[in-house]
Structure 1
Amino acid sequence: MSDVEKANSTHQNYVKLNGPPPTRIANPGALGLFSFASTTFILSLYNVNARGVVVPNVVVGMACFCGGLAQLLAGMWEFPRGNVFGATAFTSYGAFWMSYATIFIPDSGIIAAYGTNEDELHQALGIYLITWFVFTFLLMLGALRRNISFVALLFFLCITFVLLAVGIWTSKLNVSKAGGAFGILTAMIAYYCALSELLVKGESWFTLPLGTIKQAHMD
């Protein structure tokens, strides 16, 4: 066994026995979740045509800097804390929001490339959304032993992506609006999870439970 392999093996054994090594980096979970929740809430309101809004482009700035950059940074900070799940989730959804925003930036040329072929654009956007459903579903499987709140968050996000994809594929406005409604529900759960991360014992008057899932002991 090489010195590198020995070092990696020692590190893995340490983590198994003692958990992630201590770090001075604060918990970025609240930042990532609040950023995700706020951006999802705004776009979902647009998807249900709240206040008569049909064009969603106002969300571009939010998607670039709040849902995108802030979440990406939260994901990067999760890595040195040893939280692979949080790092993967925040970094990926940060990238999702930045890529989504890029589609609607006129100078990106993405929508313009389809010209007058609106049906092809809709099919392409549907594939984009269903791909994120697949990723979210796999992430949900990874969250099944964490807590009920995160499982619920990812479950309703899965439904949101499916409805939005089907709505844009079929051009059925009611299906897209249903996707927006589930998106609002997803955002509310994300706000709850974010507040739970923010309210810590010793610094807050109360805390919010995330719903502990009993761990099965494996011999």
Structure 2
Amino acid sequence: MSLETGNRGKCERILERDPNVTIFLKPIAAPAALGLAGFAGSTFITSTYIAQWWGSANSPTIFFPFVAFWGGLGQFIAGLFGYAARDTLVTVIHVLWGSFWMSVGVLYLLTATGSLPPHPINVHFPELASWMVVLTFFTWSGAIAASARDLVLCAVLTFLAIGTTIACCLFAYGSGVGTGMKAAAYFWIISSILAWWRVTVYLIEEAFGKSSIVKFFPIVRTPAEKRRPLVVPGFGEPGVKRGMPGVV
């Protein structure tokens, strides 16, 4: 329909009537379930290796393809779907860490092909340390935001942030780097186990709903989260709603 300046009556009718706008929301599964699953798997494998529970110097070239796809690509996809779910926390955290694991996977691919020399994780490595600075700041921001949701998710990001903060020791020289990375690895291990627990809760809640079995998988939702309805208004998005699976 075209409007011409000479058709004053039509212009006035168009401007005065209420706009007919309809918003359709496409239901999707919680992206955080996939993101946390990818994070838990990749972080547990890598951190147990850094903690020297197993493996040899050549182990990363074998396990990092899985880490890059499951923990990297899987998380990255989950983070992008966080946009559709109107979940800023999921988007930022999982795109951030998904990008990290894919990037590390590329580094080990280049190392395996001989394009880059091998670089032990327990020595001075300022280039990787600069990544840890970015990861640290945004992960702490995510931990603060998660404190308004549930304590398990908050703990996942808090232990992850602590370990990543310690990992900034890669800027240093000497034996302290190896000690610091091993300490960071244990915080990452705890974070990965808690992430597995949170994913289990997503699966149990979807499978059994309000069944009493859910009580055996506590995540300690905050009072603020409990007060929210199943669908809550989107922040900064007038007229858009955000679905919150598991909230009753």
Deviation digits for residues 45-64 of structure 1, max 9, x if unmatched?
11011125345333321232
Structure 1 residue corresponding to 2:81, chosen from 77, 80, 91: 77
Output the aligned Cα RMSD.
3.2
Partners of 2:31 and 2:126 lie apart in 1 by 36
% identical equivalent positions: 23
Partners of 1:72 and 1:96 lie apart in 2 by 10
Structure 2 residue corresponding to 1:105, chosen from 81, 105, 109: 109
Q: Following superposition of structure 1 onto structure 2, how do residues 123-134 of structure 1 map, counting pairs within 5 Å?
A: 123-134=126-137
TM-score normalised over the length of structure 1: 0.77
Unaligned runs of 5+ in 1: 15-20
More divergent stretch after superposition (35-44 vs 171-180): 171-180
Structure 2 residue corresponding to 1:159, chosen from 154, 162, 167: 162
More divergent stretch after superposition (77-86 vs 189-198): 77-86
Structure-2 residue corresponding to 1:44: 47
Partners of 1:41 and 1:201 lie apart in 2 by 25
Structure 2 residue corresponding to 1:178, chosen from 177, 183, 190: 183
Partners of 1:109 and 1:139 lie apart in 2 by 37
Amino acid paired to 2:98: G
TM-score normalised over the length of structure 2: 0.69
Partners of 2:88 and 2:189 lie apart in 1 by 27
Partners of 1:26 and 1:214 lie apart in 2 by 23
Q: Is the 8 A contact 2:50 2:185 kept in 1?
A: yes
Partners of 1:38 and 1:162 lie apart in 2 by 21
Determine which structure has the larger helix proportion and give its number: 1
**Which of the pair has more CA radius of gyration?**
2
Partners of 1:162 and 1:139 lie apart in 2 by 14
Q: Per-residue deviation at 1:201?
A: 5.6
Deviation digits for residues 153-207 of structure 1, max 9, x if unmatched?
1110011112222156234222211111111111111111111111116637622
Unaligned runs of 5+ in 2: 1-14, 228-248
Alpha-carbon spacing, 1:201–1:71, altered in 2? closer, same or farther (3 Å)? closer
Amino acid paired to 1:122: F
Higher relative contact order (CA 8 A, sep 6+): 1
Q: Is the 8 A contact 2:41 2:67 kept in 1?
A: no
Partners of 1:201 and 1:122 lie apart in 2 by 43
SS in structure 2 opposite 1:23? coil
Structure-1 residue corresponding to 2:205: 200
SS in structure 1 opposite 2:208? coil
* 1:95 matches 2:99: yes
Partners of 1:191 and 1:126 lie apart in 2 by 27
Partners of 1:134 and 1:27 lie apart in 2 by 25
Partners of 2:171 and 2:115 lie apart in 1 by 17
* 1:24 matches 2:33: no
Q: Is the 8 A contact 1:129 1:164 kept in 2?
A: yes
